């Protein structure tokens, strides 16, 4: 499949995943006008299984089967929402390209008021807020412990319709999904990322391939955004250091500015035990900064939080 004029791309079959894949393909073909691109749609475990994430268990439910298409040679590259990726990529694989990042923030659908927090604060006691993300549930509990976080699966269109139809009073989703679908008419209030720390890789698309595919690395170089790649490296290093053998509700947001990168890390815990820390350094040290930040979180009581979370086997699956 190592041809210079044709590549095969594997992706999930959801409307959002296909939209994201086509956005990347458009950038690739703009840089290489003679290239032919074929899409292979993959139905993942997360797409087939409608149970709550806690019942399915673990991360990788939206990525492993897409990765398998690359490992088995049925596709040249796989395109993922980076926040869906596990710490370990497919066997022998690497992230060869990170296009420019979209909005990393979470947003609130429903409620009244302007910002996301204002919308959540406007809700009545006991109001139902839709989210299947353990990170978002932990953050919601910090702001409004009197609200009920309810399981809220389905594609983005479905969740928007559920809010409009009154199935829940509000929902928390990723701004990037709304931005990329483009035609979704949703009234959303932004949750500021410095307070409402996004999932590692939120707003980032990652192009994965076999690590020995230097031909693809060269092909994708014109599509890669250096700042976005550095941010993702820091965030994935943070997540990799903290996740270990258990799954946790964590957030991490890295921002490149000039020659430097600043990183905010979050580990959600129950009973007011959530931990936030920040760090900064040279952009060339992004991964080391992410690891050091995770160590700061552990030193601040993160080991105890992780032990408590591990005891209940909390999943770290993030919805769009």
CB atoms closer than 10 angstroms to residue 218: 10
Choose, from 5, 76, 84, 212, the residue flagged as catalytic.
84
Task: Decide: 151 and 52 in contact? Cβ < 8 Å.
Answer: yes
The alpha carbon dihedral of 100, 105, 111, 112 has a sign of negative
CA gyration radius, the chain: 19
The per-residue DSSP string of 107-120 comes to: EEEESSSSSHHHHH
Kind of pairing, strands 6-12 and 77-81? parallel
Residue 44 — φ and ψ, nearest 5°? -95, 170
Q: Which residues pair with 299 in a beta bridge?
A: none
Residue 265 — φ and ψ, nearest 5°? -120, 145
CB atoms closer than 10 angstroms to residue 33: 6
Task: Decide: 253 and 203 in contact? Cβ < 8 Å.
Answer: no
CA dihedral 96, 320, 70, 217 (to 10 degrees): -10
The owner of tokens 């673990």 is 58
Structure tokens at 101: 């990042």
Q: Known catalytic residue: 183?
A: no
Residue 107 — φ and ψ, nearest 5°? -135, 160
Beta-carbon contacts of 127 under 8 Å, excluding residues fewer than 6 positions away, are: 147, 148, 169, 170
Residues annotated catalytic, as ranges: 84
């Amino acid at each position: 499949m190592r041809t210079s004029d044709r590549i095969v791309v594997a992706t999930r079959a959801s409307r959002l995943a296909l939209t994201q894949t086509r956005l990347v393909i458009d950038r690739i073909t703009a840089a290489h006008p003679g290239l032919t691109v074929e899409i292979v749609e993959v139905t993942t475990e997360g797409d087939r299984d409608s149970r709550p994430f806690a019942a399915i268990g673990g991360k990788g439910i939206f990525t492993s089967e897409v990765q398998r298409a690359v490992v088995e040679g049925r596709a040249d590259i796989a395109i993922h929402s980076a926040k869906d990726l596990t710490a370990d990529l497919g066997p022998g694989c690497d992230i060869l390209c990170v296009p420019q990042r979209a909005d990393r923030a979470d947003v609130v659908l429903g409620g009244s008021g302007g910002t996301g927090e204002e919308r959540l604060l406007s809700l009545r006691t006991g109001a139902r807020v839709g989210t299947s993300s353990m990170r978002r549930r932990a953050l919601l509990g910090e702001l409004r412990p009197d609200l009920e976080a309810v399981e809220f699966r389905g594609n983005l269109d479905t969740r928007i319709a559920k809010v409009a139809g009154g199935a829940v009073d509000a929902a928390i989703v990723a701004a990037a999904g709304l931005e990329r679908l483009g035609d979704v008419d949703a009234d959303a209030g932004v949750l500021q990322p410095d307070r409402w720390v996004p999932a590692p890789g939120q707003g980032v698309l990652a192009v994965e391939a076999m690590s020995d595919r230097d031909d693809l690395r060269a092909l994708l170089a014109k599509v890669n955004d250096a700042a976005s790649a550095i941010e993702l490296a820091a965030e994935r290093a943070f997540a990799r250091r903290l996740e270990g053998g258990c799954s946790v509700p964590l957030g991490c947001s890295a921002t490149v500015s000039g020659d430097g990168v600043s990183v905010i890390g979050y580990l959600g815990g129950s009973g007011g035990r959530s931990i936030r820390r920040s760090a900064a350094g040279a952009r060339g040290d992004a991964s080391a900064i992410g690891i050091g930040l995770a160590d700061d979180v552990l030193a601040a009581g993160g080991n105890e939080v992780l032990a408590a979370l591990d005891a209940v086997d909390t999943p770290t699956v993030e919805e769009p």
